[in-house]
């Protein structure tokens, strides 16, 4: 659950702190006031791609922080432990900063993380239904992914297995193609691989060599400075011509101290300390002299080092970003050369493997298809039940299955053998057709809400955000959507941006978003409404600026009705 949100210098928002509650949180306000900016800021801390254009004009950076309630048995615990993130009792703090140079800094509980880790963890905290997301229902390529969300654990295991085995099949096919190509292509490939192998082998690369060469280069380029500093140090400590050296003076002090050391125990301790310093200094002087004598000023050696580094860099540009990668590539092409030179035996072996992997792929895909059919039955019933509640009681929702075929033969891809499309009939007697041919904008919004609702009862994501789920609806449909959000808020935290009074009246916490200008800049602000203010805002949503006593009465009646619905739930 999202507890607190702090937004700083984000679009029209200068500095805003929001405290969300359990249940249904509603955001309303005039068009353009900044309601969706708040949702954008949540997307920002959940790892969405961000442009520096979101930074408030005239400022150097933007910062957003969200504090979330943490459930100890959440799958997040393992993800956080895997990424070395400390778990701070019952909260998770996500923060993200973006500066004008485009640099993004993400943190979880104070630990710096990548955007991908932020996104991974954020996906377990909040599910956001953004503006126009219901349009994704019209894209049939999204239907399989939505269906699979209704699937059992076995479905997801089989789906992963299909992906792995399909990848194996493709690898074998590519290798077969490489080996079974015509003789000319095979010889060209063999010539290229032999050339690459020779080039790598002649370079005689060694692991760690580049690091050693760079260190040597640094020392050689700084040899003059090294010699100067070490020589001065040696002279100051041991061979000073103008005055006694530090070593000589320390030796004299040690001799003088020896004559008094027996007079007091403390003097004996001081003598011991001086003696340790004397021998320590002697060792350091010897080390300095030895290092100084090894310094090499040879320009040819610098040229040799730079030539070797240049050779390594040329190989890196061709074969890998590190010496280790180049050596791995060398092993790979060595094996490929051997395979090409022993192709007949290899072809026979690969064909046998391909047959075996294809059988495994089709068997797993068949099991996956069975699981999808079971998930489809659950999805169809769940969505039809929700659509009835949302005023589409005559609707029939169908998950349609087709099998992928090519030249009359069933084929598999990395998702199995199924083609999934959602069909719907919104009137009795009408056949089911694709959503794009049947559903209006308002119907799409309700279908998506039905999908989200059914999914919400199966997933473990604690918070749902709806940014204008009310697109294209009004009247009874709007009332039904409001009641559904109210019902859903019994098990999930709901944050909803709406323009409809029927939905706003259901709020547990009602935020009013406004913007104001001082002549130089515009700023978005937020206020939590009390009961009287809720009445005024709902009245405004009903009729606009011309609010009458009758409108206020109607608004209050809507709030009273919503309270009864809350108690009934």
Distance CA 178, CA 197 (A): 18
Distance CA 316, CA 328 (A): 12
| pLDDT band, residue 511 (cuts 50/70/90) | very high
- As a whole number, the mean pLDDT across the chain is 86
The pLDDT value given to residue 73: 60
Q: Are 150 and 458 in contact (CB under 8 A)?
A: yes
CA torsion angle 354 359 361 366 (round to 10): 160
The pLDDT value given to residue 218: 78
Q: Are 52 and 102 in contact (CB under 8 A)?
A: yes
Q: Check residues 538 and 242 and name the one with the higher pLDDT.
A: 538
**Sole residue written with tokens 């005559």:** 394
Distance CA 167, CA 162 (A): 8
The pLDDT value given to residue 133: 58
Q: Which segment of 71-75, 434-438, 466-470, 513-517 scores lowest on mean pLDDT?
A: 71-75
Residue 422, SS3? strand
Neighbours of 296 (CB within 10 A): 13
Q: Which segment of 12-16, 216-220, 236-240, 343-347 scores lowest on mean pLDDT?
A: 236-240
Write the DSSP symbol of residue 459.
S
Highest mean predicted confidence (pLDDT) among 106-115, 180-189, 440-449: 106-115
Q: How far is CA 184 from CA 74, 181, 188, 463, 485, in A?
A: 58, 8, 6, 61, 67
Q: What are phi and psi of 9, to 5 degrees?
A: 55, 45
Distance CA 107, CA 128 (A): 20
Question: Phi-psi category of 226—alpha, beta or left, where left has phi over 0 and alpha has psi -120 to 50?
Answer: alpha
The pLDDT value given to residue 132: 57
Q: Which segment of 107-116, 144-153, 444-453 scores lowest on mean pLDDT?
A: 444-453
**Helix 323-341, helix 153-180: angle, nearest 10:** 60
Q: Are 39 and 511 in contact (CB under 8 A)?
A: no
User: Does 281 have pLDDT greater than 60?
Assistant: yes
CATH of domain 1-125+462-569: 3.40.50.300
Strands 522-528 vs 509-517: parallel, antiparallel or unpaired:
antiparallel
The pLDDT value given to residue 198: 94
Percent of the chain with pLDDT over 90: 40
User: Does 161 have pLDDT greater than 90?
Assistant: yes
Token pair, residue 435, equals: 């959503």
Write the DSSP symbol of residue 413.
B
Select from 566, 449, 448 the least CA-distant residue to 505: 566
User: Does 490 have pLDDT greater than 90?
Assistant: no
Taking the CA atoms of the chain, what radius of gyration do you get in angstroms?
A: 36
The pLDDT value given to residue 135: 60
**Sole residue written with tokens 């405004």:** 540
Distance CA 354, CA 116 (A): 35
The pLDDT value given to residue 414: 94
Q: What is the DSSP string of 245-258?
A: -HHHHHHHHHHHHH
Write the DSSP symbol of residue 416.
B
Q: What are phi and psi of 223, to 5 degrees?
A: -65, -40
User: Does 543 have pLDDT greater than 70?
Assistant: yes
Neighbours of 539 (CB within 10 A): 23
Select from 65, 54, 34, 42 the least CA-distant residue to 98: 54
Q: What are phi and psi of 423, to 5 degrees?
A: -120, 155
Token pair, residue 19, equals: 């405290």
Token pair, residue 320, equals: 């890998």
Select from 342, 336, 411 the least CA-distant residue to 174: 336
Q: Check residues 106 and 80 and name the one with the higher pLDDT.
A: 106
**Sole residue written with tokens 């599910």:** 127
State the SS3 of 490-558. CCCEEEEECCCHHHHCCCCEEEEEEEEECCCCEEEEEEECCHHHHHHHHHHHHHCCCCCHHHHHHHHHH
Q: What is the DSSP string of 24-68?
A: EEEEEESTTSSHHHHHHHHHHHTT----GGGBPTT-SEEEEEEEE
């Amino acid at each position: 659950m999202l507890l607190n949100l702090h937004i700083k210098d984000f679009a029209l928002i200068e500095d805003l702190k929001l405290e969300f509650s359990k249940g249904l949180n509603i955001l309303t306000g005039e068009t353009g006031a900044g309601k969706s900016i708040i949702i954008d800021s949540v997307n920002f801390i959940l790892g969405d791609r961000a442009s520096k254009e979101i930074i408030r004009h005239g400022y150097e950076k933007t910062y957003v922080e969200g504090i979330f309630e943490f459930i100890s048995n959440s799958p997040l615990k393992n993800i956080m432990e895997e990424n070395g993130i400390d778990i701070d009792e019952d909260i998770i703090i996500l923060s993200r900063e973006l500066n004008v140079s485009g640099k993004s800094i993400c943190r979880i509980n104070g630990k710096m993380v990548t955007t991908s880790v932020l996104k991974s963890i954020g996906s377990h905290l909040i599910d956001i239904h953004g503006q126009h997301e219901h349009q994704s229902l019209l894209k049939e390529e999204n239907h399989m992914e939505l269906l699979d969300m209704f699937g059992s654990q076995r479905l997801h295991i089989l789906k992963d297995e299909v992906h792995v085995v399909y990848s194996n099949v493709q690898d074998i096919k590519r290798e077969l193609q490489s080996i079974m190509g015509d003789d000319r292509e095979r010889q060209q490939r063999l010539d290229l691989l032999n050339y690459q192998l020779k080039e790598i082998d002649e370079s005689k690369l060694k692991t760690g060599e580049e690091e050693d060469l760079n260190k040597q280069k640094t020392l050689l380029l700084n040899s003059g400075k090294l010699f100067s500093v070490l020589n001065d140090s040696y002279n100051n400590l041991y061979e000073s011509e103008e005055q006694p050296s530090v070593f000589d003076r320390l030796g004299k002090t040690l001799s003088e101290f020896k004559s008094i050391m027996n007079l007091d125990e403390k003097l004996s301790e001081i003598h011991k300390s001086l003696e340790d310093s004397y021998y320590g200094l002697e060792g350091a002087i010897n080390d300095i002299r030895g290092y100084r004598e090894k310094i090499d000023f040879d320009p040819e050696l610098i040229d040799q080092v730079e030539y070797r580094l240049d050779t390594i860099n040329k190989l890196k540009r061709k074969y890998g970003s590190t010496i280790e990668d180049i050596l791995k590539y060398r092993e790979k092409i060595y094996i490929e050369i051997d395979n090409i030179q022993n192709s007949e035996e290899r072809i026979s072996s690969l064909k046998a493997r391909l047959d075996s992997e294809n059988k495994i792929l089709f068997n797993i895909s068949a099991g996956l298809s069975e699981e999808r059919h079971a998930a489809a039955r659950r999805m169809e019933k769940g969505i039809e039940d929700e659509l009835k509640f949302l005023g589409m009681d005559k609707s029939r929702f169908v998950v349609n299955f087709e099998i992928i075929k090519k030249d009359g033969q069933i084929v598999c891809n990395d998702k199995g053998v199924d083609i999934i499309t959602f069909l719907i009939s919104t009137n009795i007697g009408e056949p089911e057709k694709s959503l794009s041919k049947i559903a209006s904008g308002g119907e799409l919004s309700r279908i998506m809400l039905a999908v989200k609702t059914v999914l919400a009862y199966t997933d473990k994501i604690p918070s749902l955000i709806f940014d204008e789920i009310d697109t294209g609806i009004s009247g009874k449909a709007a009332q039904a959507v409001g009641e559904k959000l109210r019902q859903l808020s019994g098990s999930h935290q709901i944050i909803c941006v709406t323009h409809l009074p029927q939905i706003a009246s259901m709020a547990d916490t009602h935020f009013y978003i406004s913007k104001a200008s001082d002549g130089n800049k515009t700023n978005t602000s937020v206020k939590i409404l009390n009961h009287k203010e809720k009445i005024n805002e709902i009245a405004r949503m009903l009729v606009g600026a011309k609010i009458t006593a009758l409108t206020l009465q109607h608004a209050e009646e809507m709030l009273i009705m919503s309270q009864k619905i809350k108690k009934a739930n």
